[in-house]
Structure 1
């Protein structure tokens, strides 16, 4: 299976997490539909059509975008689905941006897998990272996604401020109890242009 990544850097994110600078990470500066089209044209020139291919929206909180913009972006992948260039779509978002209206829209556009940027299930760690959501919001989001028939991914992070090894262990235990289809574990990196980089430079 080949992934066609579409970066929508920081789009739909209501907060600036202390570790995040998606424009630097992805190399993509814009989240506009035109930028997404440009990215897809690039991938089309490199990949062969296959129902095993999957388009993936990365870098932002997709379901935090205005519904009209979500529809415009998903129209791009609708066209790829219709011609058989891809067989499915995945996206990343936040656990506090999951509700029935948003999921009904995703169902209509071939989305198969929704990954939640959870990072930690420890409220102290989430607060230090300025995530803007709580650990208690994750399990209901996972349950609702499963009820709508989506595969669920959980994205976790290690090395975060205020995070102990015991906190990581407890997060992993709770994540396993939710039975996600996918789990990703990201190491924290100090990236230029982030609040975390300023803390690092100041010796905090």
Structure 2
């Protein structure tokens, strides 16, 4: 479990070469970026968090985006140097960077490794050129696999993302693609079903009837196939969409799911600082101006009441294969855990939930129905006294 003095750091780099039609992340396309100004602003934003989070052990740093593989390696190095100066680094500090698998960015991998990155997550997204075109990706399969080869030669830890449940995708096609993906020997796979998010180009296409994603039954079959194939290959799911060899899980993301503290810097970054939720300004120019003016890019700091913290811990923790500790959730709530005990008992009898002492988890059958289970089990409002 995450220690009370442990801290993770998330660094958001918002820029991309182009915007993918499925993406609702805080990503922006700009013709030019003042790299020196951005490096200075990230360092200032980090320094602000360091003052408010003294005497912490830094367990992980995650550069996300956007496309952080577009960051100059010397900016990455400067941020890491500042982070380990501000906090005590864990002996096994995990430093992850998300990367696009283009040849231009792959050429920077060695420099990024020298800057201190030890783990890279590649956005391959598909091993089919037609699917990559549909997803709006700028790379092809050959270029992506070449970047994967370079990453595996440079970084100690490598994983990549794939998107499945694409329009018209059949079980046999996904089985062949996933089997090929697992043959590359990476330690971690993030496997996401395509979802249509509000405000994206895909949402517009779906509303116009030009995009139809697989129905619920087909999506469920694809999910079950994914869990079965990865488990058999020694890459079991440790979270709803994330699979890894035992010991190779993303320690940074585990901090989120185990409801630990994390500082978030950069445009749109979120953080959890004790009982406070922090949100940075989303638009890059507004964030940059705020840092210059105020010394940080924070837009909001919202106190989280005990019930809200307990609910957040439940919603995050039940995504994990290991489940969630209800005793800890109760401590966060300042009383009882905000769960419906009769619903837990019923779902247990149905084989969808399992309880071992205070630990509650979804079973393999329950993982398929997690959204419904959460609605049934978690009480979003406090029970009146």
Structure 1 length normalisation: TM-score? 0.79
1:79 to 77, 82, 107: 82
SS at the partner of 1:95? coil
CA deviations over 1:7-29 (Å, ceiling 9, x no partner): 223x1x222211012128xxxxx
Aligned to 2:57: 50
- Structure with the greater alpha carbon radius of gyration: 2
2:101 to 73, 95, 98: 95
Correspondence 1:104 to 2:110: yes
**Structure 1 residue runs of 4 or more that deviate by more than 6 Å after TM superposition:** none
1:124 to 120, 127, 130: 130
How far apart in 2 are the matches of 1:36 and 1:60? 18
**Unmatched segments (≥5 aa) in structure 2:** 28-34, 211-385
Aligned to 2:186: 180
How far apart in 1 are the matches of 2:45 and 2:10? 12
Alignment RMSD: 2.7
- The number of residues matched between the two structures is 191
Structure 2 length normalisation: TM-score? 0.44
Structure of higher RCO (CA pairs closer than 8 Å, 6+ residues apart): 1
Aligned to 1:169: 175
Correspondence 1:202 to 2:208: yes
CA deviations over 1:3-60 (Å, ceiling 9, x no partner): 3222223x1x222211012128xxxxxx944257536744874586335x11001122
Aligned to 1:63: 69
CA deviations over 1:91-124 (Å, ceiling 9, x no partner): 1011114434x12321222111011001111111
Aligned to 2:11: 6
